[in-house]
Structure 1
Amino acid sequence: MQIQGEQPITASSSQESPLQRGLRRFWPIYCLLAALATLGYAFWDKYQIDGDAVAYMDIGDLIRAHHWAGVINGYWNPLYPACLALGHTLFHATRYTELHAYYMVNFGIFLLEMLAIVAFTDSLVHLRDIREMADTVQQRAQPLLDRYALRYLGIAMLVIASQRELSLGKVRPDALLQACLLFGMAALLRYFATAHLRYAALMGVALGFAYLAKSFAFAFTILCALTLIAFCLIWLKHRPARTVTAAALAFACFAVVAGPYIAALSHSRGRLDFGDSGTLNYAWYVGGTKKMHLQRDETAFDGSAEVHLKHPEKELLQSPEVLSYKLLPYGTYPDWFDTSFWNEQVKTHFSPRGEIRASSRDLVLVARYLVNHPESWLLLIVLLLAGARFELGWRPGCNAFWMTPVFLGILVFFIYGLVNVEERYVTVAFLAIMLALFASLRASSRRETGTVLVATSLVFLLALLAVGESTRVIAELRRDLNVAGSPGGWYDPDTFEAAHALNAMGVGPGDAIACIGTRACLYDHYWARLTGVRILTEIYLPEAPLYPYWAAMPNRELAIDTVRAQGAKVLVGYFSPGLMTGATPLTAGWRELGESHFYALPLNLPPDASPSQLPPERSGIDDATK
């Protein structure tokens, strides 16, 4: 995205090598290939739905229904659910076809990520070339990668991430957050290159949308504003008044975008609140606080936190633990729909011992992330062996264009490393650091042309291999689905069979049911969303497989009677195959739900309830199967 009057000093097109000229012309075709290869995942990527995904879908439903009180959530932010709601409307989805629509939404977000990568790499190169003119340390060697080579590398790394942690089959906001953060960093780099206030404003807008995707962006916005001030004052020698004005403008634009939601969340909580996901995760992963079903009198599970629960889950029975979620009127599984509601007034305190334990674990996870993403850093090593070298100017006055993305990327790793590292969290940091390092490479002065040619060729090869690998994986996924007779990767036989069977039993939208075991309750309760029911009671058995705990469970009949008294139509659990025969007192009454591993125990159904004609909602999936 070049702006008139802001062109960097670069080599003219006549100085391009034939390879560079060919890559520039091939660029639109490569973008199309990358998009088409990734589009295949929207049709054939594997089912990967979990409790997080269902919560986002539920919030999307509330947005479509204009039920704003339910949208205000201290744990999940609203931008991604709004995208799901838009996709649901555009594709005219039903309960049984919505998941395919959401895969297509994720593909749209992937296209947005491609644009964000281009904006980031172009801004990085633009700042590099502009600062080359003002560098007090003369750097005569040519940059190893030009603008298009860095674009190819960025898109290749994005395609690789979309095969792994940012898969289209994961209904989660991390890819959307990454796109917004990359746009924000691109605007920040543009401001450094031009000193135009509009880029500071764009940074604030982009980071405001990032916050609406995930509350982590609030801390990232503060870091970006501090980086803007420090870099402008120390390296660019800008006037303090103009620098402070730029930072204030960025914050103002952030507030315009994110402020209304922060105000609504704070009003609903009765205190200033920017989101509770960070503090709760610190309490769980560092402080040792019990993550699920914490009660007021369980001081042994408080960890380092100070616990004064405002409205904990209602405990109906202690042994086994039977819980009611009727207090929260939203969500398929209210316990995970807004965990900040149930854990309100869990006040986190610093835990040195827990921090050492968590940081040690997260260092291992960071190392595993690097091992799982070897392509780019191995290429970097190869280029260094081929004669490339770093020129990482860092003193004031030097061309320190690389410093901001590397610094911000390290801070992202550090922040998550203090609490909990997952690959989907830190991919944006990895992209920012690696692309900045590649942009800082210089060709050897003795064999400049040859080094540039080798580097550009290897980057192009990596870009082609990334798309080729996606194509191979998609072809394999499609073949497997054809053999199984499945309409798409989003179709999970266990989940959909269970939903159809429950609907056929007379259980459907508006009904309250109960669940037992982590597999049916916490890990993947999409079957309940498909059925159209809400899980308002749970028999909590934290271990899997379920059957041994069911067999040894004390007060089994009392627990069933307690659940029945809550009005649940059925009790649903996920059992290993071949165990729930119905021929023993332990399994009597349980019904297999279709050909799935889900089983239902009727509680408040009519005695003659039996499978009947499938509901109209199934017609869409039947047509897809045909």
Structure 2
Amino acid sequence: MRSLICAGLLAFTDRHFMNPDGMSYLDIALAAANNQLSELANGYWSPGYPALIGVAIWLFRPAPEQEFPIAHFVTFGAFAFALWSFAFFVRNWRAAISEMNAEGAAETDRHFTPLAYSTFMYLTFTLLPVELVCPDIWVSGLVYLVASLALRAVLPGVGWGNFVSLGLALGAGYYFKEAMFPAGLTVWAMLFFSPRSLCTVSRPRLLLTLSVFLAIATPLFVAVSVKSNRVTFGSAGRLNYGWFVNGLPSIPFGDGTETGALIEHPVPKLSDRPLMLDLSASTGGTYPLWYDPSFWFRDQTPRFGLRAQMKALWIGLKRYMKILVSSAWLPLGAVALILWIPRSSVGPRPIRKFWWLFSWPLVVCAMYALVWVEGRYVGGFLVVWWTALYGLLMLRAGNASGRSSIAWVVICVAVLSCTAGLARVAYGLARALNRPHPPEYQVVGAALRQAGLSAGDRVAVVGPGIDFYGARCARVQIGVQIPFAQEFWRLSTEELRMVWERLHAAGIRVVVAKNRPEYAAPAAWRDIRLSATSSLSILLLPP
């Protein structure tokens, strides 16, 4: 309950926060709410999360200024679902432990429960930030649900319904995250091909699980393949491998020959100096380059290179090490328990029977290490792994002597985890309370409307456009991007006049820039102070 209250506070205080991925999800959600359901079949973004936001928008019909809070409301719902799923996982893991060691079940529960929930609280608030508008908390909840149903499948006396539910959970995971397709197949294969001497699961029932999984996943698989003009379950893995391993440029202008990349739809240039990119060829979205990146890189094929792959792997391992060091009490507590708890009569049977529960998160973490690692990608899997490990250690502790020492270890780990988790919550609250009011994106959106722009109009942006959330609030599209701001500000008055002519010919009426320097050539800019260190400049082009 305390975790739910903390998540609610973070979601409320951060209700006006936005991130680049979230803006794309909101664009897709708004299209779906306006009966453009085909937009959910995006080549890069999975449809589950924007579909839920779209339902919320359809139900509440918020003003543009209130769409960000609606997205955070959906994310808070994700946390509630994740908490419920984790409680279900803990209950089933405790049942599995009790089945193997009925005599020490009470002692095991007394130690294991606080460890499990404190671990969940810390790793969730540090690796899966509630303030981000992204599907990763939903994915973590589905990971807990899959682990729970897989645990029940291993236990005796489980009916066919559990295996159907497992297939549904695996299929739902694919709708929220492309990576859950291979991750789901991995856990299914571990159960199906597990030797009988290690794990006895009904293979006919697992075939039913696979059938349900594929039946749920096939419509999305077909829709994405049709939109991408290739047989694929998604382009996120392919593109991230290109960006983080092959050196694919993030902005697809030019033909990609300098990196060996094939860019199917290079962004047309309005000029080379300053570089002006015409984004009108895109399918839509506030920032077209990030609305469906697979549109621009549709024929990009990952290229394996040993040196590049080893570099990416090394970066991934360093990021995992950073996560491990930041939560050092978890491994230290486990080591202390291993040293203090003598070998009990339970023997090696638990780890053999549930080997897949420990292997599955590690395999998924290794999959991400090959491309790019972020805590929010693997947070749910790490929660499962640490919870399973501490459950196994508490199984050994159930019949062990020296329980006072064990209790002290449990108390230390639980207190440190809760304290660190609450500190993360306090930091998030303090940061949110220091943000300007009204929110910057609302100020920018109002200024764009005052400049005469209407929904659907196109603007030119100087600098990065990926975080120009005011355009989302005003319902306008970034039609032209001038990515290199310093080059633009050093243009002479005559060069600026030529830029205005090209923009006007492209149908652009308004140019927007942040933090205009004093040395910039004079023009009829309208400056708006956003904060003590930030300002916005708007230029209405002459007819």
Settle same-fold status: TM greater than 0.5: yes
- In the TM superposition, what whole-angstrom CA distance separates every residue of 1:133-165 from its partner, at most 9, and x where no partner exists? 8xxxxxx9x479734654433332333244333
1:114-129 matches, cutoff 5 A: 114-129=83-98
Aligned to 1:153: 115
1:392–1:400 CA contact under 8 A, matched in 2: no
2:309 maps to a residue whose letter is: E
1:405–1:436 CA contact under 8 A, matched in 2: yes
User: Is the aligned partner of 1:550 residue 2:495?
Assistant: no
CA distance in structure 2 between the aligned counterparts of 1:144 and 1:48, rounded to whole angstroms: 44
Which residue, out of 375, 391, 415, partners 1:461? 415
CA distance in structure 2 between the aligned counterparts of 1:371 and 1:510, rounded to whole angstroms: 48
* Aligned-pair CA distance for 1:66: 1.5
CA distance in structure 2 between the aligned counterparts of 1:180 and 1:410, rounded to whole angstroms: 17
CA distance in structure 2 between the aligned counterparts of 1:125 and 1:232, rounded to whole angstroms: 24
* Aligned-pair CA distance for 1:248: 2.1
Aligned to 2:193: 230
User: Is the aligned partner of 1:492 residue 2:492?
Assistant: no
CA distance in structure 2 between the aligned counterparts of 1:511 and 1:458, rounded to whole angstroms: 58
Kindly tell me: are residues 125 and 444 of structure 1, through their superposed partners in 2, closer, same or farther at Cα, counting changes over 3 Å?
A: closer
1:144–1:443 CA contact under 8 A, matched in 2: no
1:534 maps to a residue whose letter is: Q
Kindly tell me: are residues 105 and 341 of structure 1, through their superposed partners in 2, closer, same or farther at Cα, counting changes over 3 Å?
A: same
CA distance in structure 2 between the aligned counterparts of 1:332 and 1:273, rounded to whole angstroms: 26
User: Is the aligned partner of 1:63 residue 2:32?
Assistant: yes
User: Is the aligned partner of 1:591 residue 2:526?
Assistant: yes
2:124–2:379 CA contact under 8 A, matched in 1: no
Which residue, out of 302, 305, 318, partners 1:348? 302
1:208-219 matches, cutoff 5 A: 208-219=171-182
User: Structure 2: 5+ residue runs without aligned partners?
Assistant: none
Kindly tell me: are residues 114 and 284 of structure 1, through their superposed partners in 2, closer, same or farther at Cα, counting changes over 3 Å?
A: same
User: Is the aligned partner of 1:171 residue 2:133?
Assistant: yes
2:140–2:380 CA contact under 8 A, matched in 1: yes
* Aligned-pair CA distance for 1:556: 4.7
SS class of match (2:270) = strand
Aligned to 1:260: 219
Moved more, 39-48 or 180-189: 39-48
Aligned to 1:388: 341
1:149–1:459 CA contact under 8 A, matched in 2: no
CA distance in structure 2 between the aligned counterparts of 1:478 and 1:419, rounded to whole angstroms: 32
Q: How many residues align?
A: 536
1:290-301 matches, cutoff 5 A: 290-296=249-255, 298-301=256-259
Tell me the TM-score normalised to structure 1 length: 0.78
Which residue, out of 437, 450, 462, partners 2:389? 437
Which residue, out of 269, 275, 280, partners 2:228? 269
Kindly tell me: are residues 65 and 53 of structure 1, through their superposed partners in 2, closer, same or farther at Cα, counting changes over 3 Å?
A: same
SS class of match (1:357) = helix
1:95-494 matches, cutoff 5 A: 95-131=64-100, 142=104, 146-147=108-109, 149-194=111-156, 196-231=159-194, 233-237=196-200, 242-243=202-203, 245-296=204-255, 298-302=256-260, 305=261, 307=262, 309-384=263-338, 387-388=340-341, 399-441=351-393, 442-443=396-397, 447-451=401-405, 453-458=407-412, 461-462=415-416, 465=419, 468-469=422-423, 472-473=426-427, 476=430, 480=434, 486=437, 492-493=439-440
User: Is the aligned partner of 1:82 residue 2:82?
Assistant: no
SS class of match (2:285) = coil
Which residue, out of 565, 587, 605, partners 2:505? 565
Root-mean-square deviation (Å): 3.0
* Aligned-pair CA distance for 1:551: 1.5
CA distance in structure 2 between the aligned counterparts of 1:144 and 1:558, rounded to whole angstroms: 79
Kindly tell me: are residues 351 and 499 of structure 1, through their superposed partners in 2, closer, same or farther at Cα, counting changes over 3 Å?
A: same
2:510–2:539 CA contact under 8 A, matched in 1: yes
1:433 maps to a residue whose letter is: W
Kindly tell me: are residues 347 and 170 of structure 1, through their superposed partners in 2, closer, same or farther at Cα, counting changes over 3 Å?
A: same
1:131–1:401 CA contact under 8 A, matched in 2: no
CA distance in structure 1 between the aligned counterparts of 2:141 and 2:490, rounded to whole angstroms: 49
1:34–1:467 CA contact under 8 A, matched in 2: no
* Aligned-pair CA distance for 1:50: 2.3
% identity of equivalent residues: 23
* Aligned-pair CA distance for 1:462: 4.8
SS class of match (1:350) = coil
* Aligned-pair CA distance for 1:102: 1.8
2:254–2:267 CA contact under 8 A, matched in 1: yes
SS class of match (1:171) = coil
SS class of match (1:233) = coil
- In the TM superposition, what whole-angstrom CA distance separates every residue of 1:257-301 from its partner, at most 9, and x where no partner exists? 2221212222223332200000111111111222222433x3112
Aligned to 2:447: 501
SS class of match (1:265) = helix
2:245–2:312 CA contact under 8 A, matched in 1: yes
CA distance in structure 1 between the aligned counterparts of 2:452 and 2:298, rounded to whole angstroms: 36
2:126–2:421 CA contact under 8 A, matched in 1: no
CA distance in structure 1 between the aligned counterparts of 2:342 and 2:446, rounded to whole angstroms: 61
CA distance in structure 2 between the aligned counterparts of 1:352 and 1:321, rounded to whole angstroms: 34
CA distance in structure 2 between the aligned counterparts of 1:176 and 1:207, rounded to whole angstroms: 13
Tell me the TM-score normalised to structure 2 length: 0.90
CA distance in structure 2 between the aligned counterparts of 1:229 and 1:162, rounded to whole angstroms: 30
